[in-house]
Amino acid sequence: MAGTIYCIDTSALIAAWYERYKPNRFPKLWEQFDQLVASGRLVSSTLVLRECSKRSEELYGWLKLREAMFATPDEAVQLQVDHIVNTYTGLVTAGKEKFQADPFVIALAKVYGYTVVTEETGIGSLGKIPGVCNAMKVDCINLMKLIDEQDWVLG
């Protein structure tokens, strides 16, 4: 989808960096991500950046150089976050850090018409990103679907 704007979550970034598409093995993919970022078509919440800072120094360093892709929640997004947290109570884990990124990623996508990119599964689970996206009528895909939609050839 040529003009689609993608809102990526922490699980997709961690999976891409460490499990599926390591930058030293798939440099062309990371160049493609850079092009999406530069064109304003790969975005996320500042809370994803914060989560990544606690999980991966290397990935955080890469993301920090692309900090413009991370949106600070505005009032419309915050109102949507409040709705998500109050409606889909299983999405946020009690006792964990107060601000978890998942509701912010979904809210950003809902408010601005973005497509969520996640490696979470469970379209039927209202405690997972795909399930909440499905219930809220927000498009939600995984990394491979993003690659397919962009028609990237990486080899």
The CATH number that applies at residue 100 is: 3.40.50.1010
Number of domains in the chain: 1
Domain membership flag for residue 1 = no
For residue 139, the model assigns a pLDDT of 98
User: Domain range spanning residue 44?
Assistant: 6-150
Average pLDDT over residues 25-40: 95
What is the chain written as a DSSP string? -TT--EEE-HHHHHIIIIII--TTT-HHHHHHHHHHHHTT-EEEEHHHHHHHHHH-HHHHHHHHTTGGGEEPP-HHHHHHHHHHHHH-GGGS-TTS-SS-HHHHHHHHHHHHTPEEE-----TT-TTSHHHHHHHHT--EE-HHHHHHHHT----
Domain membership flag for residue 18 = yes
Q: Which one is predicted more confidently, 126 or 81?
A: 81
Domain membership flag for residue 155 = no
Average pLDDT over residues 140-151: 96
Mean pLDDT for the chain? 93
- pTM for this predicted structure: 0.94
Domain membership flag for residue 146 = yes
Please write the tens of the pLDDT for every residue from 33-64.
999 999 999 999 999 999 999 988 999 999 99
Is residue 43 within 8 Å of residue 49, measured between CB atoms?
no
Domain membership flag for residue 93 = yes
